[in-house]
Structure 1
Amino acid sequence: MTKPLLSSALALALVLASGTVHAAERVDLLVRDATVIDVVDGKRRPHQAIAVRGARIVAIVDEARAGRFDAAQTVDASGKFAIPGLWDMHVHFGGGEALIEENRNLLPLYVAHGITAVRDAAGDLSPSVFEWRTATAAGTLLGPRIFTSGPKIEGYKSIWPGDLEIGSIAELNQALDKLQGWKVDFVKITDNTLSPELFMAAVKEAGRRGLKTSAHVPYPITIDEVSAAGLSSVEHIDYAFKAGSPKEKALGEAIARGEMTSRDAWTQWNATFDVKLAKATYARMAQRGTAVTPTLNGSEVVAFLDQDDHRNDDYLKYIGPGLQATYTWRVERAAKDDAAAIAARHLRFERNASVLPLLQQAGVTILAGTDAGFLNSYNYPGIGLHDELALLVKYGLTPLQALQAATINGARFLGHDDSNGTLAAGKAADIVLLDADPLLDIAATRRIDTVVMKGQAYDRSHLDAMLADVEARVAAQQAQAKP
C-alpha cells in the first residue's frame, strides 16, 4: 500500500528537479478581467488579463489563467472595456517662441484624454517639437508619442508661420534634405503661395525619397490628380468634397486666376455634385492608398459660432492666454458674416461632412484628427478628439469605424501597425480602460478610468491630477499676462 505513495513522491521530486513546474512569470503590470475590444474585427473578448513588461504587452490570456503571472502592479478592470491608446492624427504646436510653455502644457491634456500618440501637422515651433518628440519617447517628458512633419513646405511669403519657403526645384530638394536631416515622420505641403507645379513636384519627390506626404491641395489640381501623383493624405474633408463635381478643375483654375472666390466656387461644386463621380474618384483614392483626415471638429466649431461662441467653455481653463489670443482671427472673420453667409457656412459644413460615408464605403482610410492647437478657435487638444469621434459617427461612420480611425488606421498610415494600434502580445502597452462599451456608444471613449502608456498605469486620480496641474499652470500664465 505504501509503494504507490513512494512512487508518487519520487515522481513529484523528479518533476520539481526537472523544472517542469514553473514559478509564476514576473511582469510589471497585470490588467485583470477586462473586456478587450478588437478594433480590427469589432469583437469583444470578455474576462481577459493583459500582462505588461516594460513598455510592451507580453500576453493577453483568459482571466482564469491570470495566476500564471506575478505582477508588481495589478489593475482591476472588471466591468471595464480595454481599447488601444487613441491617436490624434492632426494637431498643431505654434504661436511663436513666447508660447513654447503654453504649447508644452498641452501634452498632458492628450494623455489625460487617452491619447497616446499625435501627428503634428506643422507649426512654427519645430525645434521645440523635435525636443518633445525625443523626450516623450524616452519618458522624460509626460506626453503622447509625437510624429511630426517639422515645418511645412510652402511658397514665398506664405501666411503660415515657420514654413520652408521654396520657389524652385533646387530649393525643393534643399527643403527635403533639411526635413530628412531632422528625421521627420512625414512631409506637410500646403497651397497658400506654392505653385501647383512645385506642389506636384514636392509630392512626387518626397514619395521618391520614401516619405509620406500630407497636404492642402491647390485648387487647380484635382484630388484624382494629386492622388495619382502619390499624395499620402488629404487634410480636411472639403478638399475631398469637390472631387464629386465635374467642374472641380475648371472652377479651381478660375479661383487661381482670381476670377471667383472659393466660396462661390464651392456653391457650384455643390450644385453639380455627382455621387457616382465622387464614388469613382474615392475608389481610385482607396486603390492608391490616399487617406483623408476629415477634421470635422475644427470646421464645425467655426461654422456654428453663431449658435455657440464658446467663450464660456470650461475647457478654456486648460488653454493659455497666448494660445487663446490666436483664436481671435477666425472668430473675428466669422463675426463679419451676415445671415446669408452664416447660412452658407452651415450648409457648407453639412454638405462637406456628408461625403464621409462615401469615402468609407469606397475603402478610403479615414484618419481621426482634430486640427487642434494654435489658430483653430476652440478646437481643444485632448477633448477635441472625442468631439471628432462623435462627429464621425454623427455623419455616417459606425462606432467601430470611428475607433479604427483613431487607432489602427493612424498606426498603419505611419507604418507602425506592427507595434501599435491594436492590443496584442508584442504590441505597445498603450491601453485605455473605459467604463462603458464604445462599440455601443462612441461617447464611451470619454468615460476613461485608466490610461496605460508605455506600460505605466495612470488611474483616474492621476489623470485628474494631470488636468489640475495644467489648470494651475494656465492660471499662473493668465495672472502674469494681466497688466
Structure 2
Amino acid sequence: MKTLLAALLAATALLPLPAAAKTAPARADLLIRHATLVDVEHGRLVPDQAVATRGDRIVAVGNDATIAAAWRAGKNVEARGRYLIPGLWDMHVHFGGGPELIEENKALLPLYIANGITTVRDASGDLPYDVLRWRGEIADGRLFGPTLLSSGPKIEGIKPVWKGTLETGSEADVDQAIAKLKELNVNFVKITDSTLKPDLFLYAVRKARGAGLRASGHIPMALTVGQAIEAGISSIEHIDYAHKAGVKDEARITADFAAGRIDRAQASAQLDAGFDEATAMAAYRDMAARGVFVTPTLSISRTVAYLDQNDHSADPELAYIGPRLRKTYDWRIERAAKATPDQIAQRHAIYEHNAAILPLLQQAGVTIMAGTDAGFLNSFDYPGFALHQELALYVDRGLTPAQALASATRAGPAWFGLLDRYGAVAEGKQADMVLLTANPLEDIHATKAIDAVILRGTLQDRARLDALLAETKAKVAAWNAAATRP
C-alpha cells in the first residue's frame, strides 16, 4: 500500500500545474507598449520596448513581449511609432515681479508640463519664499506643476538692485545667510553681484560648499572666472562668463576694473575683443576637470540681441503670459529701442561671439546644462516653450541632437547628484517621461512633438496637455479683460 501511494504521489508531481497556480503577472499602474526608447546616455534608439510604472517609479523596462507577459496595468498606452525620452529639465528659471504677480507666476507651472518639462531649477527671483512653499505643495500633490528645485533667496550685497535677497556686508552676514538657507532646506545657493563685494562673493561660495551646498551665480566683474572656480562655484550661469574665461588678458582687465582704471563698458569691450581660443580651451578643460557645468541661456541672449529684427508682438506664446508679467518685459524693450545703429551692431556681435564658444565647451568636456532664464523681466522668454528654442540653438551652434538632448535630460540630474534617480528610462528611475511623435536624435525639433507626458507616474495625454494650455490661456484672457476695464 505504501509503495502504491508513493507511486501515485510521484505521478501526481509530474502533472502540469493548473493555470491558476502559475505565476500571476505583476501589477503596474501604467504600461507603455511598443515604444522606441531613446537611450540618451549612449545616443541610440532601442526599438519595441515596454515600460511599466508603479507610483512615481519605473518598475520594469524591456522587450515588449517579455514585459507584456510579466505585467498587467490599470492603464495601457500604445506607443508604436513613438519615441520615449526622460523628462526634460530647465535648469534656469525665475518666478517674480512682486506679491501682486503671484497668481500669474503660478499659472506658468502647467506650461512646463505641457512642454514636456518635468523638473525646473528655480534660480531665484523676488518671490523666493512663495516658490519654496510651491516646492512642498508640488511634492505633496497639492499643487500641479513640475518638480521644483530652488535656491530660495539669493545672497547679495547691501541694498542690491535685485529684491528677494539675503543682504550681506560682512563675513558674519554671509555665515548667517548660509545658516538660513540650510534651515530653509534649499537645493542650492544662488549668489549675485549687484552690490556684493568681490571678496564676499568668494567667501559665500566657499561657505556654501563647506555647508554641503552647490553654489551658482553671477561672477563679479572685479573677479576672474578662475577665482570663482577656485573658490568652488559649481555652475556658471550664462555663456558670457564662460567667454570671459577665454580672454587672454582677463586678469589684467579685471584688475584694471577693480582699481577703477576702466569702467564697466570699457572692461566689457576689452573682454569681448580679447578672446583667445588656446586660452579658452585650457580654461574649459580645467572647468571640466573640476566638474563645473555651464548653463548657456542662449535663447534669451539671442532674443534681446535681435529685438531690432523681431518685436515679438505676434508671438502666439504671449497668450499664456499674464498682463503684469508682460509688463515686466518693458525695461529691456525700451532700452533696446533707444540703441543706436552702432549699439545694435555691437549687441549682435556680442551674442555671436558668445554663442560661438558652445562647441568649444563641448569639445573640452564641459557639461552643458539646458536652461532658459525664463520668467519675469526676461522679455519674450516664454516658460516651457523656450527650452525647445534653447535646444535648437545648441544644435545650430554645433552640438549634435544627442548632445543637446542630454543637456536637457541628464545634465541637470548630474549637477544635483541625482543620476541614480533621473536622466534615463530605466528600472528604478523616476517615472518622468515624454512620448514624442518624432525622433529627437535625428531632429532636435522633435522635442516639441509631444504625444504625452508621464509626470511622477501619472499619464498626461495629448488631450490633457491641450487642456492645460487652454486653461492657462483662459486665465490670461480673463486677466487681460480685467486690466482693460475702467
What TM-score, normalized by structure 2, do the two folds share? Answer: 0.95
- The aligned counterpart of 1:383 is 385
The amino acid across from 2:319 in the alignment is: K
- The aligned counterpart of 1:250 is 252
CA distance in 1, matches of 2:219, 2:428: 38
**Partner SS, residue 89 of structure 1:** strand
The amino acid across from 2:185 in the alignment is: K
Shift of 1:244: 1.2
CA distance in 1, matches of 2:377, 2:216: 19
Shift of 1:260: 3.7
**Out of 2, 10, 14, which is 1:11 matched to?**
14
Per-residue CA distance 1:84-120 (angstroms, 9 max, x = gap): 0000000000000000000000000000000000000
CA distance in 2, matches of 1:290, 1:222: 15
The question of 1:467 aligning with 2:469 is answered yes
- The aligned counterpart of 2:41 is 40
CA distance in 2, matches of 1:217, 1:406: 24
**Partner SS, residue 406 of structure 1:** helix
Shift of 1:481: 1.8
- The aligned counterpart of 1:446 is 448
Per-residue CA distance 1:353-389 (angstroms, 9 max, x = gap): 1111111111111110000000000001000000100
CA distance in 1, matches of 2:257, 2:476: 42
Does the CA-based 8 Å contact 2:373-2:381 persist in structure 1?
yes
The amino acid across from 1:198 in the alignment is: L
Shift of 1:257: 4.5
What are the within-5 Å matches in structure 2 for residues 16-415 of structure 1?
19=21, 21-65=22-66, 66-415=68-417
- The aligned counterpart of 2:3 is none
Question: 1:445–1:8: structure 2 CA closer, same or farther, 3 Å change rule?
Answer: farther
Structure 1: which 5+ residue stretches go unaligned?
1-5
**Partner SS, residue 41 of structure 2:** coil
CA distance in 2, matches of 1:101, 1:351: 38
Does the CA-based 8 Å contact 1:220-1:249 persist in structure 2?
no
**Partner SS, residue 50 of structure 2:** strand
Shift of 1:74: 0.4
Shift of 1:35: 0.5
CA distance in 2, matches of 1:442, 1:14: 52
- The aligned counterpart of 2:4 is none
Shift of 1:261: 4.3
The amino acid across from 2:98 in the alignment is: G
Question: 1:205–1:269: structure 2 CA closer, same or farther, 3 Å change rule?
Answer: same
Does the CA-based 8 Å contact 2:129-2:153 persist in structure 1?
no
Per-residue CA distance 1:303-327 (angstroms, 9 max, x = gap): 0000101122111110001100101
**Partner SS, residue 32 of structure 1:** strand
Q: Which deviates the most, 433-442 or 264-273?
A: 264-273
CA distance in 1, matches of 2:83, 2:198: 47
Structure 2: which 5+ residue stretches go unaligned?
1-8
Does the CA-based 8 Å contact 1:438-1:444 persist in structure 2?
yes
- The aligned counterpart of 1:3 is none
CA distance in 1, matches of 2:344, 2:469: 35
CA distance in 2, matches of 1:43, 1:9: 51
Shift of 1:421: 1.2
- The aligned counterpart of 1:430 is 432
CA distance in 2, matches of 1:261, 1:459: 54
Does the CA-based 8 Å contact 1:242-1:266 persist in structure 2?
no
CA distance in 1, matches of 2:258, 2:368: 28
**Partner SS, residue 347 of structure 2:** helix
Shift of 1:267: 2.9
Q: State how many pairs are aligned.
A: 476
CA distance in 2, matches of 1:249, 1:220: 9
Question: 1:113–1:10: structure 2 CA closer, same or farther, 3 Å change rule?
Answer: same
The amino acid across from 2:307 in the alignment is: L
Question: 1:224–1:12: structure 2 CA closer, same or farther, 3 Å change rule?
Answer: farther
The amino acid across from 1:342 in the alignment is: I
CA distance in 2, matches of 1:350, 1:476: 40
Shift of 1:258: 4.7
What TM-score, normalized by structure 1, do the two folds share? Answer: 0.96
Does the CA-based 8 Å contact 1:36-1:45 persist in structure 2?
yes
The amino acid across from 2:199 in the alignment is: E
Shift of 1:272: 2.4
Identical amino acids, percent of aligned pairs? 54
